[in-house]
Amino acid sequence: TLIAPEFIAVEGLQEWSQARRMIKDCANITEDGLKLVHAFYIGMLALRYRTSHGDKVIWPNQYSWLLKEHLIEWNNHARWGLSEETINDKSNADGTAKLIALVQVSWFAAQSIMRLVHGLPLSPLESMTLSYVPLFAITYLFWWVKPKDVLTPSIIDLPDMSEEQQATFESMAVSSAFDAEATKEQTTLWSIWYLTPRVFEKEAEDIAREEAYQKILREDEKGPLQRIERAGNISARISSHPAKETVVAHWDPNIYRSKLLWPMTCICGASFGALHLICWDTRFPTATEAWLWRAAALASIISLLIFMQFEKVVLRWVGPLTIISLVSPFIYLVSRAVMIGGVIAAFRASDPAIYDTYVVSTYWIHVV
């Protein structure tokens, strides 16, 4: 959140979008009973099912499938720990706490604006802090009803299913890294850095596998006997085609391809670096530091906007644009490090004017 708050805001948007999609998919089955708080709770991986080795996550697409297959009934959702009362009881924050935080942040923003109106400078630290405000406000908006810090998941028993249904259900799992079955992948120290994958990533993976399957069929158009001979190894060929990719970033296609949401997302992302430029004329210890701050702020804006033009960034050569897609986030991170370093360095020779104040008695809001 300190280095790249833009991505937290985008993550909030993607979680909200996934929750809304789940609600829409299940609207007819639940008779609009599935609310945002339920969808967020499931999306937080807080709904799990028991296995012989521990428990495994029920992903949003799996829960929707169970409803559509009538293997579970929405009327019994409270038995699965999905009642709003149970979820809110597990959450460590309510609307009141969030509202108080927003009021405090809004007050700081108002004070900063009043200083600028009176011609008083902001310190680089105040400018940087102010830059976080719109992004955190947007994130709060998307996460307003999302439960916070749920430590105890709801663990249930799956309904009886046929072998085919069980296989279909398990194939829909987005990842096994978040299950609790004591596997090597789940117990490694690196697991604390795992980012929660989204359902759209699983859908993209399935589409890629289907395309690979169709390609293999087209390549192997031979006689019936030869088809039988290759049937045994076709699964292995699909699993190795395409190769496993290291994904750097993958934006939700429904947001990325929106003519309204994505431009607004890019503007909000650029606002973070743009608000730093309020301190364009702020006094720094040296002219070099001042221009380094300005260059870093501009670089963060440009590099982020370039990076956000790629729907999916992977560590694989796909042409000259690969260099741009991988270099742009690196430039962004370097520029952010320079800006944070500039804030710290500026304290050794701060502009005395940052300690000046305006007369507050002329504004009735201060009396209130």
Cα 328 vs. chain centroid, distance in angstroms? 19
Q: How far, in Å, are 113, 334, 366 from residue 357 at the CA level?
A: 13, 34, 14
Which residues are paired to 314 by β-bridges? Answer: 247
pLDDT value for 19: 92
- pLDDT tens column, 66-82: 999 999 999 989 988 99
Q: What pLDDT score does 189 carry?
A: 44
SS3 at position 274: helix
Q: Under a CB-based contact definition with an 8 Å cutoff, are residues 146 and 90 in contact?
A: no
Residue 76 token pair: 């019994």
- Residue 331 is inside which H or E element, if any? helix 321-346
More confident residue, 193 or 287: 287
Q: How far apart are CA 242 and CA 254, in angstroms?
A: 23
**Digit-coded pLDDT (tens) for 211-223:** 766 676 666 665 4
pLDDT at 23 over 90: yes
Tokens standing for residue 284: 């720094």
pTM (2 d.p.): 0.79
pLDDT digits (tens, 9 = 90+) for 195-246: 566 677 777 777 766 676 667 666 666 545 454 444 445 444 444 444 556 7
E strands, the chain, in order: 47-51, 54-57, 154-156, 247-250, 312-314
pLDDT for residue 124: 81
